[in-house]
Amino acid sequence: MIEIKNVHKAYRMGGQPVKALDGVSLKLEPGEFVAIMGASGSGKSTLMHVLGLLDRPDRGEYLLGGKPLSGLSDEKVATIRNSTVGFVFQQFHLLPRMTALENVELPLVYAGKRHLAKKAKETLSVVGLGDRMLHRPNELSGGQQQRVAIARALINDPAIIMADEPTGNLDSKSLEEIMGILRSLNEEGKTVVVVTHENEVAAYARRVIILRDGKIISDKRAAPGHMPASFAGKALSEELPAAGASKAGGIKALDYFRQAVSATVSHKMRSALSILGVLIGVAAVIAMLALGEGAKASIQKQLASLGSNLLVVRAGSRKVHGIAQEAGSVTRFTFQDVNAIRRLGDEVKKVSPSVSGRAQIVYGASNWNTQVTGVDVDYAQMRDYMPEVGRFFTQEEVAARDKVVLLGPTVAYELFGGQDPVDETVKINQINFKVIGVLPAKGATTYRDQDDIVMIPVTTALFRLLGKEYVDSIYVEARDAGSTEALLEEIEAIIIRQHRITKDREDSFEIRNMSDIREVFESTTKTMSVLLGCIAAISLLVGGIGIMNIMLVSVTERTREIGLRKAIGATDKDIMTQFLIEAVLMSFIGGVGGIFLGAGASSLINLLAGWSVKVTVFSIMLAAFFSLAVGVVFGLWPAKQASSLSPIEALRYE
């Protein structure tokens, strides 16, 4: 069944090599009951670990069923170990958070045989624990725990049972019960190998091997008359998995998930702290991005009032002998300038002259002093002033100098309160005007209330209300952003030509490119959004580091558990996947909680501080993606650390 030839194994203790096995050669036949004895440090446990494929020899040859196993990957060896060898340990190595039934089912998980879970109940009944299968290890006696370990070793129907000091922690009665079970298994045809230093345990065996200083000094078999009838026992047949054979069906994702949930729930405080770190990070991402998006939306709304691809022609304030003159004292714009700009062709999309002044507006017993702005029809679309209530004036009303007016929200509220002002008549400087609409709200800036304004046709303002002969400024919208600079130069040339302005008087007017201002605002908004996002990302990074630290601690705390899982057939990939799912699970829970917390915090900021916030689907998806990425990235290293542990070193971990 098993043959080893000239096997050597050494360990380093305090920097010095210590030989555990020194040229050991041995054959195990099917159906044998073998006891390996020796003093402490003789190498008996190391020999069993090598025979059970838990450890690899430094030198020598290992044959299983006549097939050499040298050079096989750890994954392939784990597959063979899972189906061929069942281990019973002195310390039982039962997972405390699982019931007896779940502990017995564990090898089925790594064999891809979850559908055979019913067999676990039957196996527990065989070892006399049918009524205790839902109890946890701390609710069982030492003998009962060892029976659970035996049931776990039997669940995959292995050909070989290997027991390392199986009665070392048991009383004499439990010793007899456990050894009786092992003898019964041997009589049924299973090969049993027991490591012990007790003669009364060795008495159950049919072959006794004694080691000293890593060498076999005695190998005695019982007399043939004492052999069980089934000594020929259960040989390794063609059904033994070939080296590297894959597990039937693989391990289902649900099994990984169940294991991860169990580990997470069993360490509530540790898991909660990890989840809290990610939760705060994700909430910060959501809240910061909501603030950034809210500010961006608010600024974009203000930018819309500036207009797109907009040029503003204004009268300058020229200095004469160092003394600044009144704006417009040298260059004054007329409708001739407006018409000349309109004739520039395809480069010009819209043009509107503008004139402004202050006036007293009266309705009934209410009155209000406000700014009166006279504009043309195109102004509404150029500056995003299309009324929310009523309509804007028409070209015919501009040409006829009609006395129609649109009220800003502040003026409408001061004069009419909550009533609809449309079609009502107000007096502006004692002249009757018909209200035809209410302008959209623009909000207040540092300098003034943009809603404290009324708009009337520019011709009405010039010739009926303000008594001006010249317009204050001309708004020009370019066809597209690429033609703005060229259009600016053409307008400048027209103004100079129309007004015969000499070189020394070119400062008597100015043309402002509102696109430049828009770009500055947009750049500032983008910078602010990036800054807020970076702050939030740092919070998420801190949460991720917390998960990594917790998972590294978890690897250390669960080193023996990892060793056990590998002993019963878990591969490096299995261990790595399980730890990775645990990290992702905690990140996912923290991410979901963080999304709700971030949305709630954003609403609270809006409610208490009055800041504009906007939670977008993109920010939620981004936060969710990063929370899962945190689980993967920061869980990868601990998972890799866990998967790289040697099974025997992990089992020996103190």
Structure tokens at 144: 């009962």
Instruction: Say what the pLDDT of residue 363 is.
Output: 93
Query: Does residue 321 form part of some domain?
Result: no
In a shared domain, residues 486 and 539: no
DSSP state of 326: P
Distance CA 545, CA 563 (A): 26
Distance from the Cα of residue 646 to its chain's centroid: 31
In a shared domain, residues 396 and 460: yes
In a shared domain, residues 218 and 269: no
Strands in 2-13's sheet, in edge-to-edge order, are 16-28, 2-13, 59-64, 67-68
- The boundaries of the domain holding residue 466 are 332-500
Domain stop point among 446, 468, 500: 500
pLDDT tops 80 at residue 318: no
Looking up tokens 């029976």 gives: 147
In a shared domain, residues 347 and 427: yes
> CATH no. for residue 173?
3.40.50.300
Three-class SS of 127-156: CCCCCCCCCCHHHCCHHHHHHHHHHHHHCC
Instruction: Say what the pLDDT of residue 225 is.
Output: 40
Query: Does residue 318 form part of some domain?
Result: no
In a shared domain, residues 405 and 296: no
Provide the whole-model pTM: 0.61
In a shared domain, residues 241 and 271: no
In a shared domain, residues 491 and 560: no
Query: Does residue 88 form part of some domain?
Result: yes
Query: Does residue 316 form part of some domain?
Result: no
Query: Does residue 509 form part of some domain?
Result: no
In a shared domain, residues 151 and 98: yes
Domain stop point among 216, 246, 276: 246
Q: What are 333's strand-pairing partners?
A: 471
Query: Does residue 313 form part of some domain?
Result: no
State the pLDDT confidence band at 454, using cuts at 50, 70 and 90.
very high
In a shared domain, residues 27 and 147: yes
Structure tokens at 343: 């004739």
Report which of 120, 102, 78 is spatially closest to residue 244, judged by C-alpha positions: 78
In a shared domain, residues 367 and 430: yes
pLDDT tops 70 at residue 249: no
- The dihedral region occupied by 343, where left means phi > 0, alpha psi between -120 and 50, and beta the remainder, is alpha
**pLDDT, tens digit, for every residue of 359-414?**
999 998 899 999 999 999 999 988 888 898 899 999 999 999 999 999 999 999 99
Query: Does residue 515 form part of some domain?
Result: no
Q: How many domains does the chain have?
A: 3
**pLDDT, tens digit, for every residue of 553-580?**
777 777 888 888 888 888 888 888 888 8
The DSSP code sequence of 92-139 is ----TTS-HHHHHHHHHHHHT-GGGTHHHHHHHHHTT-TTSTTS-GGG
Domain stop point among 246, 279, 312: 246
**pLDDT, tens digit, for every residue of 408-438?**
999 999 999 889 999 999 999 999 999 999 9
Distance CA 596, CA 279 (A): 9
Distance CA 52, CA 80 (A): 10
Q: What is the mean pLDDT of the chain?
A: 81
Instruction: Say what the pLDDT of residue 456 is.
Output: 95
Instruction: Say what the pLDDT of residue 445 is.
Output: 66
Distance CA 94, CA 256 (A): 18
In a shared domain, residues 140 and 273: no
Instruction: Say what the pLDDT of residue 327 is.
Output: 46
Query: Does residue 634 form part of some domain?
Result: yes
In a shared domain, residues 546 and 457: no
